Amino acid sequence: MGLFEVWRARVPESSDVEEGRTQEASPVPSVDSCDDATDDFSTSSSEGGFDEKRPQAAGSFFCSRRLGCRAAMVATVIGQLVLVAVATHSTLGEHCVLSYTNMSAVLLYSVGSMIILGFAFIFAYASRDASDPVTARANCYAFLAAAFLVAMGLQWLFHNIATTCPSENVRAITTVCDLTTMWSFPLVVFNFFGLVEERVRLTEAGFGKNLGSLWICRLRHLYITLEVVTILTYIGVRLSDSCQSYDFSCIPSMFWWLRMQTHNLLTTIGYMAVGMIAFSCFTSVLHSMDVNSSPFASYAHKERRWARKVMQYLRWITLMQCASSSMLHLVLVVMYFNQSLALTYTSLVYAIVQPLLFLMEIVLLLTLTGMLRPQRSASFQSGPSVSQTLRFLPARTPLWQSTVKSLAGRGLSVGELLDFYEQLGRPGGPMPLFDPERSTTNDVVRQAIIPHTRTGTGGGAAYVSMLAPLEGRCLPQVMVTHTWTGLFLDLVATVVADARGRDEYETTAADLAAGDCERLRSALQRRGSLEQSYWICAFSVNQHSGICDSVGRIPSESSPGYARWDRGRRDTATGEVFRVCSCSQPKYLNDSFPEECEMNKFDDMIEFLSSEVSGFKQLVAVDREYAVFTRAWCVAELHRAHEMRVTQKVCLHMNRVLDVDADDLSVYKKLATLTVTACQASRPQDKEEILNRIPDKQVFDEQLQEVIFGSRGLLRRQFEGFGVLEAAARTAFRVTRAQPAALTGRSR
């Protein structure tokens, strides 16, 4: 479970390697280099802005190595065996008898250590594939905590043995235990402060602002420095001429008292300061979000609620940890003013409270890595079932079903699509003025596909029907959902990229624009996907039975839809108005002949193909403007496929565009507040039909957000481990920037 694989680096396909090219890996932010994670936030507030050039704090001097974690683990296991073996014998010799109180303290340390060790193994297993510094520190903290408790148990055990039956060997072992606990506890605290620092640092990386991690870094290094000074001073007294034995009991009581009081005061102040800084950090992020600034059913509202929940949970659990530890050591400071009270009850109090504090931190680590808490996407899965949001038409007639089967059989192979594309732009070809960087799918349908599919009888047919007899064709394995307003180049590139196993089409589009179709065809042949069949409405629907003689109903020139209609009737590259087709093919439209119509059966066809074709999937060709999510028929197709649990895959121009956390929030605002009532269609009748089939449009909108962003959503983001924390901070940053300035009180 990698903690920073928020964007997974993509492994190039074998065909790409053969071609001598690999795709660029997606940016993967890390603790050691936050440049990628913060590039989009360089324009944040100049007051205390997040400094992405600031070097990251080093880990403890051995916890950054797996060897250190393994050493702590082995030492803990061995110490635990020794502790259990010795503690289970109440009489260790003729005069060596342990009291009930002493045995209780030893067993409490032993049980606490075993519990912590068990959780440490669970965490180590859960993060076995991670290699980032945060996970290494968390692993080391868990094993160090277990090792410290074992050392405390052994120290308490042998101190009491040395009291009842002193010997040189027992005193030597006691001294080793003293030194071990003396050094191990500051390391545990140092690592805990480091974990809090990393939480704040991850929040900074997501939120784009310095929130105090540098202060925590300074505090924890100051703490470990002062602890080392006090320990060395204490050992210096031990090695003085007045103390020649291994036994620390020869040290004057005042030195021992000063050592313990200094240690407890340092720890109390350290926990208190770190807790206050962390609390302030998470509170600042929470205050930046206004939960009432977006529509209730929108994804933005749910995402904001999720981010607030994560931040609130982290704020209070971190404060509780720091406050509890600070309070424990403050109590010890008070107790040590009464030496007899300290000697009698200190170990029992410590043996009960300290394991609980360690356990609290390890449970939090497991929570942050997703083992004890649902992942982010689960929080967006409330509401009615998708199957309850559409009202389907009455039972289909045999003629309707026959039209569906006829449509479903018109699959186009990738090779045939490349053959068609190569003809565009050539003199004497179907579309001599084709411009790959400007011509849309609508341009190609109107000027190439419709003229090319006229028949000698005066009618017309689907493009696929003109290629070869449909009886010999296999059913398509993929249905392509796309918008005609996007570049035709991008549509072809999407299909070719998908056939090559890619999920972005930028490089494929560049090859197509350069006319390098042969190299693409060779790559597809090597992969064995040149004949893979796709269903694309532009080629599979008979345009002559629907739209060839019209460009839609003319809206009022003063209406918002007039400019869109006018663009749709003109060639994008030349601005010339399309010539309408004069064929005699009967027109079957959804409002006049719904059973024969081929433009209102896409959801039925998805159902048919998913039941007939093993591994059938839907490919969403996401145009560069994300307009596919605003087209009424596209939304209906997405919804139906999602409802039937058909595999859905998106192919984007480039994966970085998928980063909805970018500084340009136009894409996020468009998708996160998407509503079906605002979707567009070339024919108003189409939109009206779709809206009439939706009984509860608010519920449909909510489910539409699930289709796009949910756990099975098209643009879902997988946040693993501590990436959940950074994701919550990024969400806070995004929704803060996306909400109106009037609501936030700041200008954007």
Same-domain check for residues 417 and 544? yes
- Spatial contact of 667 and 673, defined as CB atoms under 8 Å apart: no
50, part of any domain: no
**Any idea what the CATH number is for the domain that residue 212 is in?**
1.20.1070
479, part of any domain: yes
What is residue 385's predicted lDDT score, i.e. its pLDDT?
A: 43
Q: Of 720, 716, 744, whose CA–CA distance to 732 is shortest?
A: 744
Same-domain check for residues 325 and 414? no
Query: Residue with structure tokens 């998470």?
Result: 282
Q: Residues with Cβ < 8 Å from 420, sequence gap 6 or more? A: 448, 463, 539
d(CA 523, CA 512): 13
Given 597, 621, 656, which residue is the final one in a domain?
656
Across the chain, which has 748 residues, the per-10-residue mean pLDDT values are 30 38 35 33 34 37 48 61 57 53 69 76 70 71 80 74 70 79 88 87 80 92 93 78 46 69 91 94 83 55 77 86 88 77 66 79 67 43 44 68 90 95 91 94 94 89 84 86 93 96 92 93 94 95 91 78 84 91 89 84 87 92 84 79 84 64 58 72 71 71 68 53 63 62 35
Given 617, 638, 656, which residue is the final one in a domain?
656
Which phi and psi (to 5°) does residue 372 adopt?
-115, 15
Same-domain check for residues 3 and 76? no
d(CA 88, CA 509): 73
* Count of domains observed in the chain: 3
Q: Residues with Cβ < 8 Å from 537, sequence gap 6 or more? A: 480, 482, 602
Residue 78: CB atoms within 10 Å: 12
742, part of any domain: no
User: Where does residue 140 fall: left (phi above 0), alpha (psi -120 to 50 degrees), or beta otherwise?
Assistant: alpha
Tokens encoding 601 = 């059966």
Same-domain check for residues 349 and 250? yes
697, part of any domain: no
> What burial class does residue 586 get, using C-beta atoms within 10 Å of its C-beta: 0-12 exposed, 13-18 middle, 19+ buried?
exposed
Cα separations (Å) of 220 from 183, 187, 199, 328, 456? 15, 10, 14, 19, 84
Same-domain check for residues 185 and 219? yes
d(CA 467, CA 508): 25
- Spatial contact of 287 and 262, defined as CB atoms under 8 Å apart: no
Same-domain check for residues 365 and 407? no
Tokens encoding 488 = 């035709």
Same-domain check for residues 13 and 158? no
DSSP state letter for 11 = P
Same-domain check for residues 399 and 369? no
Q: Of 585, 580, 578, whose CA–CA distance to 544 is shortest?
A: 585
296, part of any domain: yes
Amino acid at 407: L
Q: Of 582, 578, 689, 594, whose CA–CA distance to 633 is shortest?
A: 689
274, part of any domain: yes
d(CA 455, CA 466): 9
What is residue 359's predicted lDDT score, i.e. its pLDDT?
A: 80
Q: Of 76, 123, 109, whose CA–CA distance to 362 is shortest?
A: 123
Same-domain check for residues 210 and 244? yes
* Distance in Å from the first CA to the final CA of the chain: 37
Annotate 12-79 with DSSP letters as a single string.
PPHHHHHTT--PPPPP---SS--HHHHGGGTTS-STTB--TTSPPPP--TTTTSHHHHHHHHHHHHHH
What is residue 577's predicted lDDT score, i.e. its pLDDT?
A: 92
Same-domain check for residues 399 and 362? no
Residue 167: CB atoms within 10 Å: 12
Same-domain check for residues 248 and 339? yes
Query: Checking DSSP bridges between strand 412-413 and strand 533-535, what pairing results, if any?
Result: antiparallel
d(CA 54, CA 692): 57
428, part of any domain: yes
284, part of any domain: yes
Domain that residue 519 falls in? 394-629+646-656
Same-domain check for residues 313 and 187? yes
Annotate 533-602 with DSSP letters as a single string.
EEE-HHHHS-GGGTTTT-S-PPPPTTSTHHHHHHHHTB-TTT-PBPPPP---PPP--TTT-TTT-SSS-H
Q: Where are the alpha helices (DSSP H) in 127-167?
A: 133-164
- Spatial contact of 80 and 117, defined as CB atoms under 8 Å apart: yes
In angstroms, how far is CA 640 from the centroid of its own chain?
Answer: 25
